[in-house]
Amino acid sequence: MSEPFYITTAISYPNGRPHIGHAYEAIATDVMARFQRARGRDVRLVTGTDEHGLKMFQTARGQGRETIDLAEEMSGYFREMYGKLNISYDYFMRTSDPAHHRASQAIWQAMEANGDLYLDRYEGWYSVRDEAFYDESELTQGEGGVRLSPQGTPVEWTVEESWFFRLSNYQDKLLALYAEQPDFIRPESRRNEVLRFVEGGLKDLSVSRTSFDWGVPVPGSPGHVMYVWVDALTTYLSGLGYPYAGSDFDRFWPANIHMIGKDIVRFHTVYWPAFLMSANLPLPKQIFGHGFLLNRGEKMSKSLGNVVDPMELAERFGVDALRYYLLREVSFGQDGSYSAEAIVRTANADLANSFGNLAQRSLSMIFKNLNGELSCDYQPAKEDDELLVDVLAMARERLPGEFEQLAFSIGIEDWLRAVFACNQYVDAQAPWALRKTDPERMRAVLMTLFQAVRTLAIAIRPVVPEAADKLLDQMGIAADARDFAALGDAGWFAKLAASGFAVGQPVPIFPRLELPEGEEGEA
């Protein structure tokens, strides 16, 4: 049985439609999931929507509607986006689902049985927008004397009866975790932030609310609903069927990676492991806090009018072009910037002009000059073998090594160097000229190119799955022979040639993009 691999996105708060940040995280998580499947792992990708909490309750009330109706509508927009962006999730968990309520109540009861929950009165600062409690020392002064959270959101003084979690008991255990597992929090900058926070001391955490009823009821405590972060984080368990025996939870937990935005690192690296320790559940292996996407270097906001709908970008430029750009141009873990012209420039240079052109002219020459026939009956030259060895090393070693570390942009750069090497090989060998002077040498060159293009397509397939599959379809590569294991099949080309498959007139897979009218020349 293949080795399990479990990865999650953050659980999105659907009080608004999904934005490009949601798309970026979903794409990166999907690429990692597809990559691990291609490596032969048994993968589960869980995502979903975090529908409870005061913010959703107030948004629905402001619109004069039931909160569940708002949650149903907004959750649908996230599902629609995942479908459009080709996100290969295995389960979409909504926190309003009864199965999720059962999981949340199960972990609550496990923490209570461990003696980590007690009833008291909460008085303190609360950010509705962050769904988070903050200490006085963390606040700053905003305009008009408004107190602001570390995220720059308004806070309000809250007083109510609450259940508390003994977070203070877990300071030493968390510090030991960070020391023993340096890769538990990545990248390093996020780890350092969390270390400083925990070293400063932890106070017990309010984990229930009584001022509204939109949430998971606290078992045995009428009038209390769970603090939204207890509920939301439990999605990573409920998405696998926890707490039921025989579910995916038994095989896939603990998670290999929680992929999250850097603004919610504290909840995932302090609260979440403490809850799991209390419930005597294994801890996830890694929390990765990626950076933000900026629109032309500016943080997106409605007031600036620069919030971009990812569905619109996918429609304008194509899903694969968008996926490729975001992972190629942004160093994963750092903030990155995007613009329409940058997407067009990168997609045209790398996909259309480099790889797309390589595939198109290679297959076209086989179709026109060899009647589409593949043959092993040729004598390769030293440069043929060297090219294939280099391309194969990229696909089996360099790109996978970088992707395993979530260094997507570096892995894609390795892939692009192999594409450039193939294009240089075409120019140096000039098969169009060999057609007249040395047709047998032309055959060797074209067979070499066919094999190289197939390797390149399989390597980049997790990033641009639709385009890669269209190309591999044209090359006669079976659907079950498109993973990294297939790259180790030394006899694949001989079998394909012997099958009688012939290359047809190829269809371009990466059309050149044009900037929408009025956007030319923007920086």
Instruction: Give the contacts of 193 (CB within 8 A, at least 6 positions apart).
Output: 265
Can you state the percent helix, strand and coil of the chain, rounding each to 5?
Answer: 55, 15, 30
Of residues 69, 57, 64, 75, the one with CA closest to residue 14 = 75
Distance CA 38, CA 399 (A): 13
| pTM of this structure | 0.92
* pLDDT of amino acid 130: 79
What ranges in 353-407 are assigned the alpha helix state H?
357-369, 382-393, 399-404
pLDDT of residue 65: 94
**CB neighbourhood size of 349 (10 A):** 11
Q: Which residues pair with 134 in a beta bridge?
A: 125
pLDDT for the residue 523: 33
Contacts for 81 with CB less than 8 Å, ≥ 6 apart = 18, 22, 23, 26, 87, 310, 311
Nearest to 297 by CA among 327, 258, 339, 358: 339
What is the CB-side half-sphere exposure of residue 332 using CA atoms within 13 A?
Answer: 28
Given this model, what pLDDT does residue 301 score? 56
The residues, ordered by sequence, that sit 6+ positions from 281 with a Cβ below 8 Å of its Cβ are: 107, 110, 237, 253, 254
With helix as H, strand as E and coil as C, how does 80-117 read? HHHHHCCCCCCEEEECCCHHHHHHHHHHHHHHHHCCCE
Domain ranges of the chain: 4-291, 339-498
Q: Where are the alpha helices (DSSP H) in 405-477?
A: 408-429, 431-437, 439-460, 465-474
* pLDDT at residue number 51: 95
Instruction: For Cα atoms 120, 13, 10, give the angle at the middle one, nearest 5 degrees.
Output: 95
Q: Quick check: helix, strand or coil at residue 399? A: helix
Query: Comparing C-alpha atoms, which of 56, 97, 258 is closest to residue 105?
Result: 97
Alpha-carbon span 366 to 446, nearest angstrom: 6
Tens digit of pLDDT per residue, the chain (523 long)?
799 999 999 999 888 899 999 999 999 999 999 999 999 999 999 999 999 988 898 889 899 999 999 999 999 999 999 999 999 999 999 999 999 999 999 999 999 999 999 999 988 888 878 777 788 888 998 887 789 998 888 998 888 899 999 999 999 999 999 999 999 999 999 999 999 999 999 999 999 999 888 999 999 999 999 988 899 999 999 999 999 988 999 999 999 999 999 999 999 999 999 999 999 999 999 999 999 888 766 665 555 556 678 999 999 999 999 999 999 999 998 998 888 899 999 999 999 999 999 999 999 999 999 999 999 999 999 999 999 999 999 999 999 999 999 999 999 999 999 999 999 999 999 999 999 999 999 999 999 999 999 999 999 999 999 999 999 999 999 999 999 999 999 999 999 999 999 999 999 999 999 986 655 544 3
With 0-12 / 13-18 / 19 or more C-beta atoms within 10 angstroms meaning exposed / middle / buried, residue 13 is: buried
> Could you give the CA distance from residue 314 to residue 6 in angstroms, rounded to a whole number?
27
The SS3 call for residue 322 is: helix
Among 171, 225, 174, 169, CA closest to 201: 171
Name all contacts of 125-129 with Cβ < 8 Å and 24+ positions apart.
Answer: 125/149, 125/155, 125/156, 125/157, 125/158, 126/155, 126/156, 126/157, 126/158, 127/151, 127/153, 127/154, 127/155, 127/156, 128/54, 128/55, 128/58, 128/153, 128/154, 128/156, 129/55, 129/153, 129/154
Report the alpha-carbon distance of residue 423 to residue 452 in Å, rounded: 11
Contacts of residue 292, defined as CB under 8 A and 6 or more positions apart, other chains included, come to 21, 261, 262, 263, 299, 335, 336
CATH architecture of 4-291: 3-Layer(aba) Sandwich (3.40)
Distance CA 210, CA 213 (A): 7
Backbone angles phi, psi at 336, to 5 degrees: -140, 165
Give Dmax (Cα) for the chain.
90
Burial class (CB in 10 A: 0-12, 13-18, 19+), 175: middle
pLDDT at 136: 86
Write out the E strands in 249-341. 257-261, 287-290, 293-295, 336-338
CA–CA gap between residue 471 and residue 503 (Å, rounded): 11
In CATH terms, the fold of domain 339-498 is: Isoleucyl-tRNA Synthetase; Domain 1 (1.10.730)
- Torsion angle of alpha carbons 470, 474, 480, 483, nearest 10°? -70
Q: What's the confidence (pLDDT) of residue 522?
A: 41
Evaluate whether 43 touches 60 at the Cβ level (below 8 Å).
Answer: no
Q: 464, 325 in Cβ contact below 8 A?
A: no
Give per-residue pLDDT as tens, 7-44. Answer: 999 999 888 899 999 999 999 999 999 999 999 999 99
